[in-house]
Structure 1
């Protein structure tokens, strides 16, 4: 009951505004500006791996939270169960500070940009304002223990000219209108049929590293590698642990203590990249239009073909001086379809679909518009497009009706 009331409060709060990126990631929005539609939008651009990475790291962090909660429920403290992590969290800070029982007044606790459970407060958002500056200038990821070889460090000074320069500069693949489906798995699902162990945490981190952060040439199965762009200060060049062997040496235990927070800085960077680059374009596409690029292109082609047919018919009626002259009024039929398709392409909005409450997900497949403010915006634009179409059709029809006939 409380959840339903909270959902209603969120919906009423968005009655006069577009949703934020945090709300979309938290699955609190409805079509056509929900997480599913955002994923399809990124997939058309060939950049869905960034969102997959964010979701997988979110699940990894949720798994770590569940582990810490299980430990506390068992009656043991984190300090007793995992002293290396406790020491690391006290010195470096951790996003799990409140879960593991660290004193929030005595240390710096990292905060997450979003979670699947709750929205950030305004103070949290202000605390995260410096994330971009940190990511650009230095690493915010946990440092590996001194004594480990340099190639295991997150920061690297060795240039790699083969990498893209931004998360949305695609390496080795160019998004096209017809790139509808790629070989990409959904975010990793980790079943919980038994108590979570630290080896499970290592396995989760290992999967994320080899899927998203390991260079393609270092992965046995290239089909499972979807390397994403990260700035040099956030790159991780090796994963020194193995899920098949329990860490035994002091250096391995020290590295293992970093596993819960290992990808947090990279996750923050991807969040900011999506929020500042892809998300505004997604809102423009879905809150002010309801067509996919392929569907808009098909409308352009149909509109030009039908307009050519309509003009050919109109000139035939004029130069053959067909009587009665009132037959020319039937030209409004091809002109209506032609102008409707052309204007729909220009605005990437089909007013008929909007009036039916539909928005395209993939070419020629639709779902119902359920976000109230988006529905209001689309209705307003649909009315404007309809008026524009009516004006053009009326003008064309009257012009060809008024032209005197002259039989050649």
Structure 2
């Protein structure tokens, strides 16, 4: 996949991939899943969405989602490499194979677990359907215990396919690359198993690890690794399980470790407070606790990723669409227009009253049309956060006074419609003010 490297306003590198296929033009606004899957065009693409979140100071959630997506792509690449070599997952990673067979996994389409089943069902906490999708009961937070999301009892298969990424093969060939942030933090754990090897929630009395010297030392190591660990894994060689552990370790240390650099909010049932393994020490195959923790590495962040997705979908994404699909200005640029508009309105009123009290002829009074039209255009541009001149040029602001081409056809149509409506309102108000100041009887003081 062709890709171009860009930088955010703060100088952070950002990877924006070009689209493989766009399909027929949409006659609606895009969904968050389409934006995250890079199937939209400016100004409602992933790059503009990241800049919008950065402007609001909430880009950590998107960083986390993209880094977990890359972690999942890395896990898919591992399973594909394993199958290319002809090795059996059941023999190479028996603990993960048993967990994926009994509890389900988001990688069952590529890890070969479904192919080992004689029928479409499994025993345990969940059941797989004829297409290999794992289903369980849904918790109160709207997430299934296996990490798949539901929406009020309905499964959105189209969105789920987009979030898993349809271009995994391209990601496998190009290697693992971090998201908008230049470094990611990773570790591992899970909240879904009652027999887990770590705390189920903060302050779990069965695992009093917080406050101990061992845990404090572990935190310092993770914090250091969050900033120093590489974000690109060499794909010239096969991916190993240690690579998966290192990837998860960076995510944990950067986003989930209490007090970490980019810590995100999660409800108590989704928090991960400890993990007994790390990429900096060898694993003991005879230690069941470590083997169970290692088996949870591929799926461990999926519930948190789905929660973050739903949070963005319900809160910030509608505001992003309002700002980019119905307007083309940033708040600072709109405020500058308001200031200039009020100044122009003062000049227009001063000119209009001067013509009246100097008893200037009505023909010369028509000059007030110019300052009134400019003033009202600027003020209404602030109100609508829309500049008709930028609409005419097919441009939209990304950061203050920096523009990008509007390539999404439906958004372009919406902006033109709103621009026409805005110009109509401006013309009506300008006509009313001009009639008032032109035809009122003059009186020389």
* Uncovered stretches (5+) of structure 1, i.e. residues with no partner: 120-138, 159-183, 220-224
Counterpart check, 1:207 vs 2:244: no
Which 4+ runs in 1 deviate beyond 3 A? 110-113, 139-142, 187-191
Q: Greater share of helix residues, 1 or 2?
A: 1
* Residue of structure 2 equivalent to 1:358: 395
Contact kept? 1:351, 1:382, Cα under 8 Å: yes
* Residue of structure 1 equivalent to 2:302: 264
2:415 corresponds, among 378, 383, 387, to 378
Counterpart check, 1:117 vs 2:166: yes
The whole-number CA distance in structure 2 between the counterparts of 1:349 and 1:258 is: 49
2:384 corresponds, among 336, 342, 347, to 347
Superposed counterparts of 1:388-403, under 5 Å: 388-403=425-440
* Residue of structure 2 equivalent to 1:71: 82
* Residue of structure 1 equivalent to 2:215: none
**Cα distance, 1:202 vs. partner?**
0.6
Contact kept? 2:191, 2:272, Cα under 8 Å: no
The whole-number CA distance in structure 2 between the counterparts of 1:357 and 1:403 is: 41
* Residue of structure 2 equivalent to 1:237: 273
Counterpart check, 1:276 vs 2:314: yes
* Residue of structure 2 equivalent to 1:83: 94
**C-alpha offsets along residues 88-125 of structure 1, whole Å, 9 cap, x if unaligned?**
21222111111111227234435473133269xxxxxx
**Cα distance, 1:157 vs. partner?**
5.9
The whole-number CA distance in structure 2 between the counterparts of 1:242 and 1:29 is: 38
**C-alpha offsets along residues 190-227 of structure 1, whole Å, 9 cap, x if unaligned?**
443322111110110000001000111xx5xxxxx100
**C-alpha offsets along residues 319-348 of structure 1, whole Å, 9 cap, x if unaligned?**
1223x4322111111111110111011111
Highest relative contact order (Cα 8 Å, sep 6+), 1 or 2? Answer: 1
Contact kept? 1:140, 1:265, Cα under 8 Å: no
**C-alpha offsets along residues 62-108 of structure 1, whole Å, 9 cap, x if unaligned?**
00010111111111011111111111212221111111112272344
Kindly tell me: are residues 364 and 373 of structure 1, through their superposed partners in 2, closer, same or farther at Cα, counting changes over 3 Å?
same
**Cα distance, 1:141 vs. partner?**
4.2
Contact kept? 1:206, 1:239, Cα under 8 Å: no
Segment of structure 1 superposing worse, 102-111 or 40-49? 102-111
The whole-number CA distance in structure 2 between the counterparts of 1:281 and 1:189 is: 33
User: SS of the counterpart of 2:28?
Assistant: coil
Contact kept? 1:141, 1:266, Cα under 8 Å: no
The whole-number CA distance in structure 2 between the counterparts of 1:34 and 1:352 is: 22
User: SS of the counterpart of 1:91?
Assistant: helix
**Cα distance, 1:5 vs. partner?**
11
Contact kept? 2:64, 2:305, Cα under 8 Å: yes
* Residue of structure 2 equivalent to 1:254: 292
* Residue of structure 2 equivalent to 1:106: 121
* Residue of structure 2 equivalent to 1:320: 358
The whole-number CA distance in structure 2 between the counterparts of 1:57 and 1:199 is: 17
Kindly tell me: are residues 302 and 326 of structure 1, through their superposed partners in 2, closer, same or farther at Cα, counting changes over 3 Å?
same
**C-alpha offsets along residues 246-268 of structure 1, whole Å, 9 cap, x if unaligned?**
22122111111100001000001
**Cα distance, 1:144 vs. partner?**
7.1
Kindly tell me: are residues 264 and 67 of structure 1, through their superposed partners in 2, closer, same or farther at Cα, counting changes over 3 Å?
same
* Uncovered stretches (5+) of structure 2, i.e. residues with no partner: 1-17, 123-127, 129-133, 135-145, 150-159, 169-188, 205-226
* Residue of structure 2 equivalent to 1:197: 240
Kindly tell me: are residues 306 and 118 of structure 1, through their superposed partners in 2, closer, same or farther at Cα, counting changes over 3 Å?
same
**Cα distance, 1:142 vs. partner?**
3.9
Per the normalisation by structure 2, the TM-score is 0.73
Kindly tell me: are residues 144 and 254 of structure 1, through their superposed partners in 2, closer, same or farther at Cα, counting changes over 3 Å?
farther
* Residue of structure 1 equivalent to 2:47: 36
The whole-number CA distance in structure 2 between the counterparts of 1:228 and 1:330 is: 57
The whole-number CA distance in structure 1 between the counterparts of 2:387 and 2:231 is: 37
The whole-number CA distance in structure 2 between the counterparts of 1:60 and 1:313 is: 64
- How many residues were matched structurally? 345
Per the normalisation by structure 1, the TM-score is 0.79
User: SS of the counterpart of 1:86?
Assistant: helix
Contact kept? 1:319, 1:407, Cα under 8 Å: yes
